[in-house]
Amino acid sequence: LRPLSHYGPVVACRFYKEFVLASNGPNLKIYRYLEDELVLTKRIFKENKIHGIAISHDLTRFALYGSRSFTVVYGEKELFDEKFDHLQLGVNDWIKSMEFSYDDKVVYLLTAHNVVFTVDLGTLKIIDEKSFKEKSILYSGSIQVLSQEKVLIAAGTISGGVFVWDLFENKLIRNLVGHEGAIFDVKISNDGNYCASCSDDRSVKIWDLSTGSNLATGWGHNSRIWNLCWYDNNKKIFSQSEDCTSRSWIYHEDNDLLYCEAVYETNLGKHIWCGDVNDDFKIAVTGGADGRLMLINLKSLEPSLNPSFQNNCWKKQFSMDVISELTKVEIEKNEIFKNYVDLNNNSIVCITSKGKVFILKDNYSKWEFLYQDLLYDNYSLTNYFKEENLVTFTSSKGTISALKFDDNSGLSKKVTIKINNLKGKITNVLTTKKNDENFLMFMESPNPKDGFMLIEANFELTTEPIITSLGKPETLFVLTCLAYDITNNWLLVGSRHTTFVLYDLDTGKMLNVWKKFCPGDTITSMSIIDSSYGKVILMMTVRDGLYMYLEIRKDPVGNILTKIIQNNRIQRGFLEGGFLNHKKELILYGFKSHTFFLWNETRQFEIFKEICGGAHRIWNFVINDCANDNYKFIYNKSAHLVIRNTGNAIFKDNCLDNGTHGREIRNVTILSNYTRKNGGKLFISGAEDTCVRLSEILPNGEVNNFWSLRRHVSGLQKTKFIKSEKDEKVFYCITTAAREEFFLWEIIDHPILGPLINCYATLEPSSAEPDLRIMDFDTLPIYNSKQELQGYLILNVYSDSSIKIFEFNLNKRRFELLIEDRYTTCCLWDTRFILKNGKLFVMVGATDGYISIWDITFEISDIRKENIQCLQKLLIRQQIHQSGIKTHTLIQHPYDYNILDLVTGGDDNALVNTRLVFSEISNNITLEIKSFKENAASSTITSSTLIPSYKNGKYAKIIVTSVDQRLRVWRIDYHLDSTSNDGELVCEDCAYTTVADTGCSDVCLIEDKQNINSKCIALIGGAGLSCWEITS
Amino acid sequence: MGKSSKDKRDLYYRKAKEEGWRARSAFKLLQLNEQFQLFKGVRRVVDLCAAPGSWSQVLSREIYQKAKLEDTKLESYIEPKLVAVDLQPMSPIEGVTTIQADITHPRTMNKILSVFGGEKADFVCSDGAPDVTGLHDLDEYIQAQLILSALQLTCCILKEGGTFVAKIFRGRDIDLMYSQLGFLFEKVVCAKPRSSRGTSLESFIVCIGYKPRLGWKPTLELDKSTEEFFQNSGIGRAQLNKNDLSFPLEERIIAPFIACGDLSSYDSDATY
Ligand SMILES: C[S@@+](CC[C@H](N)C(=O)[O-])C[C@H]1O[C@@H](n2cnc3c(N)ncnc32)[C@H](O)[C@@H]1O
């Protein structure tokens, strides 16, 4: 077993020069943060995690510590030397904190029992030991080195508040009481005047050390707070919490308030464990349980402080009065901006409710009044093309003013277009680019006698526009968005009620109408993300948070076929739109209560947000330059026009490490029989955070995530790819969870868009308020006489001891219950179909340690009766483990077709090989325990997987995981003659994994291009994900 | 840890309500007793981390109430003594002295010892569990510290041959704990009552037959941590050597596992 990679909780991070040092289990990772470059990963401790990093004052030495281990690194050379073997040092207690002395000659080490050891950096011996009276256990503690003579220790207890004591005088300075519950972090400011603490009670408190009084208390975090750091000359505090936010707090001395300035949602799931601030640049880094390392620009609130660092980041606000004053144009009492658009010449054009048109030009510095047109009094619809510097205003009567601006923001052309013979009023106009020369306008009047108006004009406004009428669908239609496909000359028009229409602009004909296509209300955006002749892939967002990729195809006879190939939802409020960025990552935007957000859906982080007051206002989102994450958001807020320009991102990427699930991974499954172009394998993981993730694993152990699916609402139980021979490009996977959630997913690997996943079918729960957990399942493909895949037999076992077998029809996407029965009253853990000699058996393993096998050949046969069957022929019921059977692996005996070895692992630490011998004539099965390893692990065995490379041979091998954080490879020997040790279990290898709560595994063969030979890779999941190579 | 936090209203929960137990945990102690006859001949007990008090209820019923039926004039009669300790307050239980205190604090140990007035206890149990943080290694460490505190008291108060039972979470270092307990007891078993969920890592160490370490006199001192208390006990805990901080390896042993409680009894993982 050889470790390849590890993704898991980041519990320590520090800035150091142009680097970020971060822990990842026992590994240290060093990043060059501005360039988004991982410089190196190296193992520091054999087993313990790195919980803290200390750097000497002269920046030449580093102390790394965690649990009872620590090491000292002398100089950058050692630090950056990947091969350097660091000393494994330790004390007999948990190390809470380490700091270098003022002269960097010794290092202080604070233990969880409030003892400080002074370790000489030359001899690495303890030269002094100090403690202050109270030795009850600490949840937190820190050391503040103020001078050569003064070192303060802050100790956070479970129930006694904070003790601050002087190391050299060995005396108590303060006992700070006021928090309720355990203190999870405590830090003394580096001037020694203040102390900050946080606790179980979700508050941050700051204390005056000269008086011991509590100066202020900050409330805001929704959960426990784990980490604090002082910055900005001890004026501000940066905090990290279980609620997965970081906050920045400022202390207002005049009114004794600890005010929360900003909330940063950087990590996923639960817990941000650590954070650090670079005070010079006002940037921060945070690490969480999701293994993600994120950079934050703390200055984004006050960009004026350091304009050089983030170029072009600004926020401007103008009231109507100010604009009136600047332009000397009178503004009426209730006059407001109806709309504003951002042009490429660095100007913004606005129209008021009185038809006045203004321009903000000269790099958004100068207001100018252009003209007033009373046609647009009280009603105007605005559209624009940023790149072409073109703006159109449309009146309710169908008069369009098209304005073309030059590069200096001068109005270079103004053309009026009139729509004649309108019966109703124009209620909406949408525009889209047709090609480099022309654009399309699409107009709606609610009068049924008016068709939709389509206007084609050129950007230069030099030719006469062409106006045509398009038929309206016979359904309630309220225009909301447009998409044009140049390849097919198709126009897609979206509406409320998730209704949309496809027009062929060659013929002007309506090709299809989709009425109430999916749940939800308004389709907020549509865009074509891929197209070829007769086919487009449309991305669609629905306001409620749903988004999908839709394949729309015209078959040779002209039928329009639709297929959802990707669908998911976001949990962040209302979705207004989305696009693919330059890296083909999906970016979504919308509103969440009072804020506008821009969210990278592919990589699951927020790009920027603006507290604007909410969606009920006029707003405009502008992409300035998406490769540099440069955007603009313009909105009305309390009679002001607010322009927020993000400027270029200061970091190449603010996510240094993507990490994995935000909570414990419960199951992983690798799509082993398909290899991606880059040599990677797709895999699916399901976790306690209720997310299902589709990712790939590369031969070097690197993991890339594609999608995080939020269909489950409870923690995942099982995920498995199921056999599909229908089409070698389409794969199926099933995921199950509590609340009887059972989803069947369809996965394709699209040549341009990459892997896509869609929930293909859902098994309805048996009651309206399901509380059962589907513990395990198995499937068996069903073929018709032509050997085509028709569907699957699906076997589910539940937490209430029930066993159900369904037939799933792939085309109808329907499940039919065939067999329903119950084992006893105890929870079932494990199940399996066994097909032998033309007979079908069902095996289950339960919490009582029993294995049971039924013959269901008759019940499942074609002549089966109409009604739902029971399990009738119980062949085996045998106790194998003392308590729950958690996992099993079935192994075909290489020399005897009628023998299957069943290796089971249990809660009782045992691994057992039970031999099942199937009779060829009768349906009898005999059972014999071949090998019983009572102490196969020191804790619950949670998973076992057959290692494929050894499938056929004189032996089989399996990999077994257990909660004691060990991976073991077991070999089962086979012999031609039934000698006594045929089927014996032998432990071949055992390795420690840093993934705690080790709970699942899967194995696959992967082709290593450099190595020609394929290698065998294991993925291990739990509180993190690790990848191992199983060498032979 | 694990999924234990999801307290589904299971059968044991309902049964506890019916039978008047303050918590479903009562069944864990009852099932452990079924297997190991823990209460046989036991009169003096310390119940650590006892709130809300269902174990104390069991102890009161099985020891105090039964003793009440005995003839107090008999020479063999021993006055029962039950002491329950927890951070949380506990409403009174007949025959049980309750103390509200932190068991990791040395002062608490003194309080308990003074209640016993120099006499030894027959049985010490601890069902303690800290509030988990989610950092698995830290949580395991804190849990181990709770057990160590309980063990510290045990070393001071348990009679030779007495029994110690404590809740454990079988994580990565549980085999270190097994090994160290092996120095102090005749027999160390890891027991899992059926009323404890299979989905949780919880189980119980049952340590039978206390054998005080030869040449080690356990003494409680207010200014000593639990770590320092065990410093010379010779139970295989890593000793601090100030002149050599190279990481010491400690011995690991796997304790035998026993599932207890009737197989036909309810399954705590099941949902109905
Ligand atoms: C699972 S409950 C015990 C249930 C109890 N055995 C019963 O049957 O009712 C765990 C208890 O451990 C207590 N506890 C945790 N840490 C403690 C400490 N340091 N000192 C005392 N009690 C503690 C908690 O307050 C909690 O009441």
Asked if residue A970 lies in contact with residue A958, where contact means CB atoms within 8 angstroms, the answer is yes
Q: What distance in Å separates residue B152's CA from the closest CA in chain A?
A: 13
Question: Could you say which residues from 3 to 62 on chain B have a Cβ atom under 8 Å away from some Cβ of chain A?
Answer: 3, 8
Q: Which residues of A touch B239 (CB under 8 A)?
A: 92
pLDDT for residue A950 is more than 60: no
Q: Quick one: pLDDT band at residue A865, thresholds 50, 70, 90?
A: low
Residue A303: predicted pLDDT: 46
pLDDT of residue B9: 56
**What's the confidence (pLDDT) of residue A928?**
94
The H or E element spanning position A129 is: strand A126-131
Mean pLDDT of chain A: 92
Q: How far apart are CA A428 and CA A482, in angstroms?
A: 12
| Residue A638 alpha carbon to ligand 1 centre in Å | 54
Using most ligand atoms within 8 A of CB, pick from B86, B98, B125 the residue to mutate for ligand 1. Answer: B86
pLDDT reported for residue A309: 46
Residue in B closest to A849 by C-alpha: B263
The reported pLDDT for the residue numbered B7 is: 43
**How many Å lie between the centroid of ligand 1 and the Cα of residue B132?**
13
> Across the interface, do A87 and B194 touch by the CB < 8 Å criterion?
no
Rounded distance from Cα A579 to ligand 1 centre (Å): 53
* Number of neighbours of residue A51 by Cβ within 10 angstroms: 24
Q: Residue A885 to residues A738, A955, B168: CA-CA distances in angstroms?
A: 19, 24, 20
Q: Which of A90, A159, A688 sits opposite B247 (nearest CB)?
A: A90
CA–CA distance, A452 with A455 (Å, rounded to integer): 10
A115-120 and A126-131 strand pairing: antiparallel
Check if B178 contacts A (Cβ < 8 Å): yes
Q: Do A230 and A198 meet the contact criterion of CB atoms below 8 Å apart?
A: no
Smallest Cβ distance to A11: which of B135, B269, B270?
B135
**Which chain A residues are Cβ-neighbours of B172 within 8 angstroms?**
47, 939, 963-966, 992, 996
**Inter-chain touch B136–A825, beta carbons under 8 Å:** no
Among B31, B55, B127, say which to mutate for ligand 1: greatest number of ligand atoms within 8 Å of CB: B127
One-letter amino acid at A481 equals C
- A253 CB contacts (<8 Å, ≥6 apart)? none
Read off the pLDDT of residues B49-75 as tens digits, 9 standing for 90 and up: 999 999 999 999 999 999 988 888 888
Q: What is the pLDDT of residue B250?
A: 85
Name the residue of chain A whose CA is nearest to B246's CA: A89
Residues of B in contact with A992 (CB under 8 A): 172
- Which of the residue ranges A299-303, A434-438, A717-721 would you say has the lowest mean pLDDT? A299-303
> Could you tell me if A71 and A78 are in contact, meaning their C-beta atoms sit under 8 angstroms apart?
no
pLDDT band for A1009, please (50, 70, 90 cuts).
Answer: low
* CA B85 to centroid of ligand 1, rounded, Å: 8
Q: What is the pLDDT of residues A481-538, one digit of tens each?
A: 999 999 999 999 999 999 999 999 999 999 999 999 999 999 999 999 999 999 999 9
ipTM: 0.91
Over range A199-224, report the average pLDDT. Answer: 96
Whether B134 and A271 lie within 8 Å, measured CB to CB: yes
- The answer to whether residues A844 and A868 touch, using CB atoms and an 8 Å cutoff, is no
Nearest CA in chain A to B272: A800
Please choose from B7, B87, B203 the residue to mutate so as to test ligand 1's pocket, defined by most ligand atoms within 8 A of CB: B87
Question: Residue B54: which H helix or E strand, with range?
Answer: helix B54-59
Q: Which of A11, A90, A827 sits opposite B245 (nearest CB)?
A: A90
The stretch A169-174 carries a mean pLDDT of 92
Hey, are the CB atoms on A964 and B170 less than 8 Å from each other? yes
Reading the block at residue A313, the tokens are 């980041």
Name every residue whose Cβ is closer than 8 Å to that of residue A981 and which is 6 or more positions away in sequence.
A973, A975
Nearest to B269 among A135, A827, A997 (CB): A827
Place of tokens 């190391």: A167
Query: Could you tell me which residue, A772 or B271, shows the higher pLDDT?
Result: A772
Shortest CA distance from A993: residue in chain B: B172
Using CA atoms, how far apart are residues A459 and B260, in angstroms rounded to an integer?
82
Q: Give B24 Cα–ligand 1 centroid separation in angstroms.
A: 14
The span from the CA of A853 to the CA of A631, in Å, is 62
Of B172, B243, B271, the CB nearest to A964: B172
Task: Give B 99-138 residues with CB within 8 A of chain A.
Answer: 102, 104-106, 131, 133-138
Per residue of chain B (272 residues), what is the pLDDT tens digit?
333 334 445 678 888 888 899 999 999 999 999 999 999 999 999 999 999 999 999 999 999 999 988 888 888 888 899 999 999 999 999 999 999 998 988 888 889 989 988 899 999 999 999 889 999 999 999 999 999 999 999 999 999 999 999 999 999 999 999 999 999 999 999 999 988 887 788 999 999 999 999 999 998 888 888 888 998 899 988 888 888 898 778 889 999 999 998 766 666 766 54
Q: How far is CA A818 from CA A813, A864, A873, A875, A923, in A?
A: 16, 9, 16, 20, 21
Mean pLDDT computed over A265-278: 93
- CB contact under 8 Å between B237 and A92, yes or no, is yes
Atom of ligand 1 nearest to the CA of B167: 1
Distance between B99 CA and the closest CA of chain A, angstroms:
16
Q: How many helices (H) and strands (E) does chain B have?
A: 8, 8
Residue A128 has pLDDT above 50, yes or no: yes
Q: What band does A406 get if pLDDT is binned at 50, 70 and 90?
A: very high
**Looking at residue A304, what is its pLDDT?**
47
pLDDT at A306 over 50: no
CB contact under 8 A, A9 and B240: no
Residues with CB under 6 A from ligand 1: B 22-23, 25-26, 49-55, 86-88, 102-104, 127-130, 146
Dihedral sign for Cα atoms in the order A201, A206, A209, A215: negative
**Are residues A273 and B242, on separate chains, in Cβ contact within 8 Å?**
no
Catalytic residues of B: 167
Å between A771 CA and nearest CA of chain B: 7
- The CA distance from A210 to A197, in Å, is 16
* Ligand 1 atom index nearest CA of B53: 9
In angstroms, what is the span from residue B84 Cα to ligand 1's centroid? Answer: 10
Q: Are residues A158 and B8, on separate chains, in Cβ contact within 8 Å?
A: no
Give the H/E segment covering residue B12.
Answer: helix B11-19
| DSSP E strand boundaries for A322-398 | 337-343, 347-352, 354-361, 366-377, 381-385, 390-394
Residue in B3, B174, B194 closest to A964 by CB: B174
Q: How do residues A885-897 score in pLDDT, each as one tens digit?
A: 999 999 999 888 9
Closest residue by CA, ligand 1 atom 23: B49
Residue type, A426: I
CB atoms B223 and A135 under 8 Å: yes
Between CA B191 and CA B85 the distance in angstroms is 23
Which B residues, 200 through 219, put their C-beta within 8 Å of a C-beta on chain A? 201
Beta bridge partners of A694: A684, A707
> How far, in Å, is the centroid of ligand 1 from the Cα of B86?
6
B53: CA distance to ligand 1 center in Å? 9
pLDDT recorded at residue B200: 83
Distance B50 CA to ligand 1 centre (A): 5
- Alpha-carbon distance B206 to nearest alpha carbon in chain A (angstroms): 15
Percentage above 90 pLDDT, chain A: 80
Which residues share a beta bridge with A643? A316, A634
Q: Which of B2, B3, B243 sits opposite A125 (nearest CB)?
A: B243
Instruction: Note the pLDDT of residue A831.
Output: 97
Number of Cβ pairs < 8 A linking chain A and chain B = 176
Q: Whose CA is nearest to atom 10 of ligand 1?
A: B128
**How many of the other CB atoms lie within 10 Å of CB of B169?**
22
Cα→Cα distances A936→A141, A885, A932, B178, B196, Å: 39, 14, 9, 16, 22
Under 8 Å between Cβ of B56 and B47: yes
In chain A, which residues have their Cβ closer than 8 Å to the Cβ of B178? 938
- Gap between the Cα atoms of B163 and B156, Å rounded: 13
Q: Which residues of chain B neighbour A68 with C-beta distances below 8 Å?
A: 238, 247
